């Protein structure tokens, strides 16, 4: 069995290839050619945390795998990531375990790649100002990914900790070679932004309709079982897209409070979820209807994304002879 650590996964996983691989996986999911049941989880109440299992099968990519992911929001502000994961890949013909790899890097990359794919499909072609809300791993990966699909010329970073926001702004400016500034508030970061990437564990919405510029594309990947990232007014007005209707509208730990709350309160109906990414890709649903329309991609993360990413990593590792082979006998 091939074993790959985090630094190896990061070196092997290329963002452009990942975005394209997710496009195929999401199309397959919406068409019923791929399988990703709702994740299940055990809770760790004393830490407001949980450990979830996410199996997935994408036949077109030749991958069968399962991810175990822990979400410990209280790790924010410590050296330990809030999200940590392991992925086990299996031979889809025999069921034999074939690879064990770090899933933390894959989770960060595939989540950002999904948001970038949504921007490719829904953001205005000339979108050039990006607001990144949050200062963790997802904030970094989203900044990188968005620059691959739209001509980003300016990035604004906002977070609860202004010092962390400033440090991330400096890091991104050096890495991406474009102006990046730390904003004092969420609203300041969002003012005039063409794309807004919310990557927080916030209890209160960091995306509010009154802070948004017409025509903005919003992506939201944050999760907090006790809160949400997006206010009702934004959800109600926006063209809403998801990875999977089933996953997004499922109860905890699979679904999204950002959609389930407005649904429960009668602000929206299930029909307000306009499309899955796979439906947009297949041309079964239209995308943005005008330059002034607000579009929203609410991500909950689905296992076919992890599967597509894992397939890329394992293939690259075998091609380059990276990783260690171990036996389980």
Report phi then psi at 207, rounded to 5: -115, 115
Which has more confidence, 13 or 252? 13
User: Around Cβ 155, how many Cβ atoms within 10 Å?
Assistant: 27
Q: Which residues pair with 182 in a beta bridge?
A: 157
Q: Provide the pLDDT confidence category of residue 77 given band limits of 50, 70 and 90.
A: low
CA distances from 84 to 57, 71, 146, 158, 251 (A): 21, 7, 23, 23, 22
Are 21 and 305 contacting, i.e. CB atoms less than 8 angstroms apart?
no
Nearest residue to 208 via CA among 192, 231, 240, 177: 231
Average pLDDT score over residue span 47-62: 95
In the block, which residue shows the tokens 């894992």?
310
Are 238 and 216 contacting, i.e. CB atoms less than 8 angstroms apart?
no
In the block, which residue shows the tokens 């452009």?
16
Model confidence, pTM:
0.95
Q: What is the pLDDT of residues 193-249, one digit of tens each?
A: 999 999 998 999 999 999 999 999 999 999 888 899 999 999 999 999 999 999 999
Q: Exposure of 86 by Cβ count < 10 A (0-12 exposed, 13-18 middle, 19+ buried)?
A: middle
Strand duo 154-158 + 180-182: pairing: parallel
d(CA 14, CA 230): 30
By percentage, how much of the chain surpasses pLDDT 90?
91
Q: What is the pLDDT of residues 97-138, one digit of tens each?
A: 999 999 999 999 999 999 999 999 999 999 999 999 999 999
pLDDT value, residue 226: 84
d(CA 83, CA 306): 14
By percentage, how much of the chain surpasses pLDDT 70?
100
CA distances from 317 to 4, 11, 312, 323 (A): 8, 10, 9, 7
Domains and CATH numbers, the chain: 2-106+304-325 (3.30.1780.10), 123-301 (3.40.50.720)
Q: Which residues pair with 84 in a beta bridge?
A: 70
Are 91 and 64 contacting, i.e. CB atoms less than 8 angstroms apart?
yes
Q: Provide the pLDDT confidence category of residue 44 given band limits of 50, 70 and 90.
A: very high
């Amino acid at each position: 069995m091939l074993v790959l650590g985090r630094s190896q996964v990061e070196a092997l996983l290329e963002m452009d290839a990942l975005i394209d691989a997710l496009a195929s996986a999401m199309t397959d999911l919406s068409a019923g050619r791929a399988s990703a049941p709702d994740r299940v989880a055990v809770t760790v109440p004393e830490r407001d945390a949980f450990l979830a299992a996410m199996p997935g099968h994408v036949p077109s990519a030749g991958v069968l795998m399962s991810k175990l992911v822990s979400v410990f929001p209280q790790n924010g502000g410590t050296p330990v990531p809030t999200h940590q994961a392991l992925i086990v890949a299996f031979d889809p013909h025999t069921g034999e375990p074939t690879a064990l790899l770090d899933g933390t890097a894959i989770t960060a990359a595939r989540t950002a790649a999904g948001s970038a794919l949504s921007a490719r499909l829904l953001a205005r072609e000339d979108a050039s100002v990006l607001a990144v809300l949050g200062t963790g791993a997802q904030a970094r990966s989203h900044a990188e990914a968005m620059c691959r699909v739209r001509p980003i010329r300016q990035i604004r970073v906002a977070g609860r900790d202004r010092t962390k926001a400033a440090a991330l702004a400096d890091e991104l400016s050096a890495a991406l070679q474009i102006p990046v500034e730390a904003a004092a508030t969420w609203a300041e970061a969002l003012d005039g932004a063409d794309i807004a990437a919310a990557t927080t564990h916030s209890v209160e919405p960091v995306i509010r309709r009154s802070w948004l510029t017409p025509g903005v594309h919003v992506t939201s990947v944050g999760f907090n079982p006790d809160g949400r990232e997006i206010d009702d007014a934004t959800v109600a007005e926006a063209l809403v897209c998801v990875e999977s209707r089933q996953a997004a509208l499922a109860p905890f730990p699979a679904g999204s409070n950002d959609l389930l709350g407005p649904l429960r309160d009668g602000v929206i109906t299930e029909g307000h979820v306009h499309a899955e990414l796979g439906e947009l890709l297949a041309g079964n649903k239209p995308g943005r209807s005008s330059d002034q329309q607000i579009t929203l991609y609410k991500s909950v993360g689905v296992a076919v994304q992890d599967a597509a990413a894992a397939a890329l990593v394992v293939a690259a590792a075998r091609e380059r002879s990276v990783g260690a082979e171990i036996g389980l006998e």
